Structure 1
């Protein structure tokens, strides 16, 4: 029997009411001062780097729904559309740089206040900020995997191949979406040439977990182990709408570990939060790092 994918389809219009703010920054500083806090970050942490989120105040969900795993694997036309739009938008992701929030998390990690970082983001910005051991729950857009032979390669290599086949595509002026693509005119999509795997000629896919696809079991188990070993769980910039992140919040709460959430807008995990802060992430995290001497 097929198990339900962990990246389930959420409500496209979650509650936007302001969230409560019990405890505030002072209480969060006390949690971090105790050291060993595990961070779970979401798309809201990368908005200050110019990458939009899906469900925040400027989210893209209402006008753009990401491709599902079933669409991608079941249709050559869907793969053509994905790679055309992703090729046009890739440079926008590749040019993004870590913001003060990413750097503050790394400072807190180096200072021992944060023991591990789990990110739902696929933009690689935690790694770029120095957190090289961040667990990328949903993979990374800078890597490509063949669905047939499982060979992995770099996105830079594929981008060069796609450029040789198609040139530099002009986009429609739309912002890059959180999954790295942009809207394109239909004629450009229809004429786009998709590159096969160099090793076996098979189907290439970005090394990310699509909606409707399961996060690898070993990665999930690694994240549960990190949460179990931590003193508390700190959620940064995630609405926790999909189960892939929410399950760690529920697990921490069930095992008696404090949960803190910093997110501008209500989240699906608010009922479990001992600390709930609705403030900008960059300045909030930088201030915490400074106060703790990190």
Structure 2
């Protein structure tokens, strides 16, 4: 007769306990009691420099203009960009029991490490576990209030922070940001496969710097070469949510903290698809 396997938990004592076994692998973190968030959308990229923070900002701004209550959790701890795009400089405050987000002029609540630093140019020289715990605190120790969507701007790659977010936060879907270069198709594949491993749905792909529309002759030019996004999207059965052109006005809006003033419609289709999820 096979030996009966005992539960390893010192507080249990049962011969078989699914609850204890599940607890060992459950890394989920609850939000603050005063946070009521309907959907959590992660914005990821396999590599840096593809405009992930800009896409995060545009998604939040576009959905806010449609009447949704949207917030942004800047999980890129060592390279935060969200406060700069929104022109937010106030510091995060506390009500004695939790952190309070800083609101943009358009009413978007934002949490970012740069809003805790004395100077925005101060580097964050922390090891991975500290960074990952900070991201979890931005979820659990912040009073987000009532939100329809919380967008999480994640650092590039498939390291500590994406893993922490996927395991600890109730992510409903991710948006993968890419650019036209052929090399990026391999990087996108890594991000998509990580999401599959973590059982996180992929809402679709956004291609940034997709083309340049010449105002003089009305033609589109593929500055960074032929796009591969349709090929990659077809390979994984994913929709293309948006193709964002190279737009000096959009770049200036981000650099000058005026992203909420940008009047482009490049994310309209992406927002419609997220609404339908």
* Structure-1-length-normalised TM-score: 0.31
Q: Which structure's residues are more often strand, by fraction?
A: 2
Higher relative contact order (CA 8 A, sep 6+): 1
Which structure's CA Rg is the greater one?
2
